[in-house]
Amino acid sequence: MKKTLTILLAASLSLAACQPEYVLPTAQRQGITSLVAYFSFGAFEGQELGRLEINDPDADRYVIPIPWYFPENSDDITTPYMVKMRVRASLEANCKIDPPLTVLDLTEENHFTYTDATGASRDIIITGERVRSSKCEILSFMLKKPTLSGIIDKENRVISLVTANDLSVAEASATLSAHAKISPDPAEPHNYNDGFTFTVTADDGKTTADYTVVKNIPQKIGYGVNPTSAEKLFNLDPSSGLGLPGYKENVNVSMGVLDSYLIVNLGDGSAPKYYNKVIATYQGQIKIGSAVPTGAIASDEKDHLLICNLAAPGETFSIWKTSSVNQAPELLLSFLNEEDVQIGLEMKVIGDIDGEASISVTYPGLEGVTTSSRFRSIHIVGGEVVSNELKDVLATGFAWGSGPSGSTCLPAANPNNAEGWYSCVYSENALTWFKPDLTVGKKLNGYGDGTDDVSGGGTYVDSNTSPNNLDTKCFNNARFLVLFVSNHFPKWWPGPQLYVYDITSGAPGGDNIWNSPSLVFSQPYMYDQQYNTGGQDGNGACGDVILAPSADGYMLYIYYYDHYSQMIGGWSLDCIKK
């Protein structure tokens, strides 16, 4: 009995020590800082739908704005979800709302008692209101004859047509903010020789913006990109937003860009799908002819798409090329796979395949049998294959496993194959530069400061992630490398991460991935864009990332796809001199 009493006393003291003490508020502002409404059911369950940032410390009625449509680019109205929205509040220390917030009917006025840090209480009302979008941008503008994409200066709302052709009678098409309207109709003939103005009206019917289309050549900065020009294009759940497979389906996703389209390949032999590259609306399936898209796809810097098959040992491996979603691909090269593992799961290209380019294709390891350290490097000069070499980095100790989650890609650092290759894998957790002689020239550590908490600022690439998605491209007198870290276990931190480095002068500087002085753009924490955070029985960390320079040389697009975390998105940067 004495032993039992001792244990109970110790437990009592322990609990007493854990009781929270009153804490003085740390912010000199209202106690409620924001209210966020989330889907409580349906395909988008758990995703944020509406947010109210609160600036009035004395407010007693809070109306959460709910978008009229969701996804924004769809015609699906949000009315059915309004009656069951999960609402959460951000509160300052020692403030509370009674009764606690749960699932609310935002078509009604919901009454609560709010108590601030001093103990003072007042009645508050939380409700919602569907609102139409006030966005009124021209996202893309394209002439039909001649086929020409306009260069959009979003800050000054000027669209430049870089051409010497007569544009006195020209037809065009425009991509607008979701549900916005444009006047006059760009599909009608207009004279762009001396400038022409369009008015875009938002879905709310009130907000407008005038864009002037002019025939001129915008000035570029001398080198690289404007980091401040980074703009998020979209971030969607690929299954509910784009009709692509859910995370449990066994696919091998890869991407490319052709003209104004983002191409998505599933690696299952089906024809790759293509989407508007700015707003990700579905456009159709590309024509594949005799191509066999069981492997990966990739795109170069001049609007060419490569398609390869997945070839087992003893089978023929082929790469096809095309320059249009409506044009059947033609064979670029074929050879017999004489290795003991398959080839074609990962493919990357830098340069112009009608000029000079370097194509890299990886041999993945064999599940439960062996790892791999081999890849194929194909050099093209004048549009012709001049070398097709087997490379092996076994001597460095660098190796990868089976795909897609355990494999990797090895994009070349330069179209002329003179500066080696880059890679990063699940087991290595370090961004590695291989010199042309296949020795290791540089490693950027993936492990961080040991902090497992995002709120604490820790960042690292660890066993929860798969840093095996890379790409390289030339753009505006510079060369860039992108690394996308997909999540091997979406339930656990740190979540997907995106990094873009300037590699013009060689490998990225510094000692680690996330704070290299060579970084020009990054998204180290993407939990606010992540959808699937619970599944652990899907297809692993299958994903891809690509850099896609526009053919006119003014825009650099970045696209990423994390199959397990169910997120596909894009960003753009430009080199326009402001």
Q: What is the pairing mode between strands 121-131 and 158-161?
A: unpaired
In angstroms, what CA-CA distances link 395 with 370, 408, 439? 16, 17, 8
Q: Are the C-beta atoms of 302 and 352 separated by less than 8 Å? A: yes
Position 12 confidence tier, pLDDT thresholds 50, 70, 90: very low
Percent of the chain with pLDDT over 90: 66
pLDDT tens figures, 467-509: 889 999 999 999 999 999 887 766 666 678 899 999 999 999 9
Distance from the Cα of residue 496 to its chain's centroid: 9
First to last CA, the chain: 81
Quote the pLDDT of residue 368. Answer: 73
> In whole angstroms, how far apart are CA 74 and each of 43, 401, 515, 538?
14, 40, 38, 27
Mean pLDDT, residues 394-422 taken together: 91
Residues β-bridged to residue 421: 412, 434
Backbone angles phi, psi at 80, to 5 degrees: -60, -25
Task: Concatenate the DSSP letters of all residues of 151-183 into one string.
Answer: EEETTTTEEEE---S--SSB-EEEEESTT-EEE
CA distance 215 to 548: 25
The CATH number of the structural domain formed by 32-131 is 2.60.40
Burial track 235-268 (b if 16+ CB lie within 10 A, e otherwise): bbbbbbbbebbbbeeebbbbbbbbbbbbbbbbbe
Identical fold between 32-131 and 227-574: no
The lowest-confidence range among 263-272, 325-334, 367-376, 412-421 is 367-376
* Closest C-alpha to 423, from 400, 453, 454: 400
Q: What is the tens place of the pLDDT at every residue in 57-92?
A: 889 999 999 999 998 888 999 999 999 999 999 998
Q: What is the pLDDT of residues 254-306, one digit of tens each?
A: 999 998 899 999 999 999 999 999 889 899 999 999 999 999 999 999 999 99
Cβ atoms within 10 Å of 28's Cβ, excluding its own: 7
Domain parsing of the chain, residue ranges? 32-131, 138-215, 227-574
| Cα separation, 410 vs 414, whole angstroms | 12
Instruction: Please tell me the pTM assigned to this model.
Output: 0.80
Q: Could you name the CATH architecture of 227-574?
A: 6 Propeller (2.120)
Phi, psi of 5 (to 5 degrees): -65, -40
Mean pLDDT of the chain: 87
Report CA 259 to chain centroid distance, whole Å.
19
> Tell me, what's the pLDDT at 463?
57
Tell me the per-residue pLDDT of 532-559, one tens digit each, with 9 for 90 and over: 555 455 555 689 999 999 988 999 999 9
pLDDT of residue 201 exceeding 80, the answer is: yes
**Residues 357/363/364/370 CA torsion (nearest 10 deg):** -150
State the pLDDT at residue 326.
96
What CATH code would you report for 138-215?
2.60.40.2340
Assigned token pair, 477: 């007198």
